[in-house]
């Protein structure tokens, strides 16, 4: 989790006007994280009330694989 969090926070610092979701998507893009890792980090780093979780998790897992 530290890697995703560190990358996420770095992206968020560089792009303060981006939403948490966009920063998280950028953090996992092409890094081949497992579905479990994506879900756990999404839950801890992104405000869950803003998004429809199931569809977004599916998209982020695919983004992580192919980026």
Q: Domain spans of the chain?
A: 2-66
pTM for this prediction: 0.81
Residues 6+ apart with CB under 8 A from 52: none
Report the percentage of the chain scoring pLDDT > 70.
91
Q: Report the distance separating Cα 18 and Cα 32, nearest Å.
A: 23
The torsion of the CA quartet 56, 58, 60, 63, rounded to 10 degrees, works out to -140
Residue 58 scores a pLDDT above 70: yes
Structure tokens at 56: 């977004």
User: Worst-scoring range by mean pLDDT, 48-52, 54-58, 59-63?
Assistant: 48-52
**Residue 53, SS3 per DSSP:** helix
What average pLDDT score do residues 37-46 get? Answer: 92
What pLDDT does residue 65 have?
Answer: 86
């Amino acid at each position: 989790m530290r890697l995703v969090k560190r990358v996420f926070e770095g992206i968020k610092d560089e792009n303060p006007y981006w939403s948490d979701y966009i920063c998280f998507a950028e953090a996992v893009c092409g890094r081949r994280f497992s579905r479990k890792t994506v879900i756990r980090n999404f839950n801890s780093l992104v405000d869950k009330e803003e998004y429809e979780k199931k569809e977004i998790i599916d998209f982020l897992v695919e983004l992580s694989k192919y980026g």
